[in-house]
Amino acid sequence: MALAALTVAQAAQASGNYGPALGLGAAALLCLCVGFWTGGAATSFRKVVETRNEDVWHLMKALGSLRAMYSLLRTLIFAALTLAAVGLGLVGFALLNK
């Protein structure tokens, strides 16, 4: 987040080009989400061992946290693959029309 803030400050001084700052901010937000979901899952897995009579509840909470994290990553991968396929299609179309 600090790097994104520094990039925003540099872009403000240079009067534009906020693209890298937006990219760094999005990457930082993604890393924070994955980190919090992983940490929550780890806490729930630890509570499965430490508590009694709530094992299934903690296990399901941990698995739900991991499912949310991997669903986000799966969506991002599919979006990146789709954008790559569209980009390759556009490049191929442009080369064929020359």
* Residue pLDDT, tens place only, 7-17: 777 777 777 77
SS3 of 50, please? helix
At residue 2, does pLDDT exceed 80? no
Quickly state the pLDDT bin for 21 (edges 50, 70, 90).
confident
Q: Domain-by-domain residue ranges, the chain?
A: 2-96
What would the pLDDT profile of 49-91 be if each residue is shown by its tens digit? 898 888 899 999 999 999 999 999 999 999 999 999 999 999 9
pLDDT of residue 1: 63
Q: How far apart are CA 92 and CA 72, in angstroms?
A: 30
Which of 33, 28, 60 minimizes the C-alpha distance to 45? Answer: 60
Return the structure tokens found at 56: 């299934």
Q: Is the dihedral of CA 75, 78, 80, 83 positive or negative?
A: negative
3-state helix, strand and coil shares in percent for the chain, rounded to the nearest 5: 90, 0, 10
Q: At what angle do helices 19-50 and 2-13 cross, to 10 degrees?
A: 170
